[in-house]
Amino acid sequence: MHKETEIKLRVSRDTLAALREHPLLKKRNKSGWQQRELLNQYFDTPERDLAAAKVALRLRRDGEVIIQTLKTRGQSVAGLSERHEYEWHLEKTKLDLKKLDAQCWPEQLAEVDKKTIKPLFSTDFTREYAEIAWGRGKTKVVIEAALDLGKVIVGKQHEEICELELELREGPAEALLELAAELAASLPMMPCDISKAERGYRLLDPASYDLSLPAAELNAEMPLDDAFAALGWQLLGSSQRLAEQYRFNGHWRLLQDWVENLTELRALASSLGQAAPRASTRELRNSLDALLEDWKPLVQAGMEDEDVRRAAPEQFAEELLETRWGQFSLDTSRWLLARAWTVERNNRGNRQGAAQLGNWLTHLLAEEAQALQLPRYQQQPEDLAEQLPRIERLLAWLHHARNVLEVPEVDRLYGELNKLQHLAHQPINDEALDARVQQAIAVFQSRAWKYLLRK
């Protein structure tokens, strides 16, 4: 068994060709590009028990070599994945069930009848690969770069495989993201948190691709720095999965959720005060603002206009042909991994970053509630949109962390603020203005709001 640490990046055929000649890879290429044909058959039970357990079972023919591989549940965060992998060399192209013993077989699959395991789909592709190596300070880094071109095949259905896969052989995981980010600065790449196996399952059942990532595990006693890091990873990873699925099927709701993820990440990054000095978040905020400036108005327009919704998939495809999304995703991953907001902050910032989440968050929400001055917008509802950034900060924290608060009826407050945010986006007319007034009153009179105003 070994641990596999890798990152996959969806690319175009033009980008795949450009990578072969990229100066950075040329300079560090220690083996030259080599090529092999990989023919892969994936297996599961009729009930797809292995997929449910996040397990992949594969037979691969690599020239004359036959390899049986079992990949068990690992962790995947914002495109960077780690999984345990077991391999066996076989004499013939037939699954050897005896290899799947207690040493590797997940306990949750103990009741599965292995005799029911059958082939489901194949992923056949040509791989060009090279050993990329360089010195990172005093540390040696070795990465296998693989350019994969082929197809996932399920019966008469198929989907193209065209991707760069970077697998860490030696050195720190940060080096994978550094190399990927340097390449993405000049070539369009999409961090793609979906394996070839997941693509096969998605062709079998379009609903099988799990868009939801586990919620960040927050508690009232944890430091603010840890809470923000957990939420940042969760939102970035979720946004990448949403982008992949929207690219695949063009369902409007996925684009809405993608924009919402980016909006929440922007709101959280601007809410940390001295725990994240503005200089440390500037690049992140600027990148998010550029994306949201283009996509937020489009989503708002699409709420009322079917033509906008129909045109959006093609516009999103054009976005992915540029470097912006890939570069943002990889740079943000590096920023989160390095906890760059903690660098060069002052002692007060360090104390805030170490503060218990429950206490810090109650104080933040109380400050935001005071500053929102809701009675003013009962008199001047036409100006409510100017407070959208503040409302978004409130909503982002209430969405993800209200369970750590000792605030009465906080779920109701979250719902009422959501309604207020929606109304702040609506075009101004007499009906909308009246609705804003009534909703501002509903928030102001809620028990949770009154509690925060007293803090």
> Which contacts (CB < 8 Å, 24+ apart) does range 66-69 have?
66/90, 66/91, 66/92, 66/93, 68/95, 68/96, 68/99
Residue 221 and residue 100 share a domain: no
The pLDDT-based confidence of 231 (bands split at 50, 70, 90) is: very high
Cα–Cα separations (whole angstroms), residue 171 to 142, 175, 283: 7, 7, 27
21-78 confidence digits (pLDDT tens): 999 999 999 999 999 999 999 999 999 999 998 899 999 999 899 999 998 866 555 5
pLDDT of res. 117: 95
447 in Cβ contact with 406 (< 8 Å): no
Residue 235 has pLDDT above 90, yes or no: yes
For the domain that residue 70 is a member of, what is the CATH number? 2.40.320.10
Name residues whose C-beta falls within 8 Å of residue 88's C-beta, 6 or more positions apart in sequence.
67, 68, 69, 96, 99
- The whole-angstrom separation of Cα 149 and Cα 162 is 5
Q: What is the predicted pLDDT for the residue at 211?
A: 77
pTM of the shown model: 0.91
User: Long-range contacts: 365-373, Cβ < 8 Å, 24+?
Assistant: 365/394, 365/397, 365/398, 365/405, 365/407, 365/452, 366/452, 366/453, 366/455, 368/393, 368/394, 369/394, 369/449, 369/452, 369/453, 370/453
Report d(CA 396, CA 381) in Å as an integer. 23
**What pLDDT sits at residue 2?**
64
Extended strands (E) in 183-286: 190-191
Q: Does 169 lie in the same domain as 69?
A: yes
Both 346 and 390 in a single domain? no
Q: Which pLDDT tens digit goes with each residue over 88-101?
A: 999 999 999 999 99
Give the pair of three-digit tokens for residue 444: 């102001």
What single-letter DSSP state applies at residue 339? T
Domain tally, the chain: 3
Beta carbons of 45 and 112 less than 8 angstroms apart? yes
Residue 206 and residue 218 in one domain: no
Say yes or no: 257 and 375 in one domain: no
Q: What is the per-residue pLDDT for 77?
A: 54
Looking at residue 195, its pLDDT comes to 85
Answer whether residue 83 shows pLDDT above 80.
Answer: no
Last residue of a domain, one of 351, 370, 400: 351
pLDDT of residue 27: 95
End-of-domain residue from the set 167, 192, 210 = 210
Question: Do residues 376 and 323 both lie within one domain?
Answer: no
The amino acid at 332: T
For residue 143, the cross-strand partners are: 132, 168
311-351 tens-digit pLDDT:
999 999 999 999 999 999 999 999 999 999 999 899 999 99
Given 158, 193, 210, which residue is the final one in a domain?
210
Residues 183 and 54 in one domain: yes
pLDDT, residue 75, reads 59
Which whole number is the average pLDDT over 450-454? 95
Position 213 scores a pLDDT of: 77
Residues with Cβ < 8 Å from 259, sequence gap 6 or more? 292, 295, 296, 299
Same domain, 288 and 396: no
Query: Are 203 and 239 found together in one domain?
Result: no
In a 13 Å sphere around the CA of 370, the CA atoms on its Cβ side amount to 9
Query: 100 by DSSP, 3-state: which?
Result: coil
Lowest mean pLDDT among 83-97, 285-299, 358-372, 405-419: 83-97
pLDDT of residue 208: 84
Q: Which two tokens stand for residue 55?
A: 């397990």
| Region 197-201 average pLDDT | 91
Region label for 157, one of left (φ > 0), alpha (ψ between -120 and 50) or beta (otherwise)? beta
Point out which residues pair with 69 in neighbouring strands: 58, 87
67 shares a domain with 203: yes
pLDDT digits (tens, 9 = 90+) for 143-166: 999 999 999 999 899 999 999 999
Tokens describing residue 147: 């350019």
pLDDT band at residue 455 using 50, 70 and 90 as cut-offs: confident
128 pLDDT more than 70: yes
- Sign for the CA dihedral angle at 414, 415, 417, 422 comes to positive
State whether 228 and 92 are in the same domain: no
Regarding whether 22 and 5 lie in a shared domain, the answer is yes
Calpha distance 373→377 (Å, rounded): 7
Q: Which domain holds residue 101?
A: 1-210
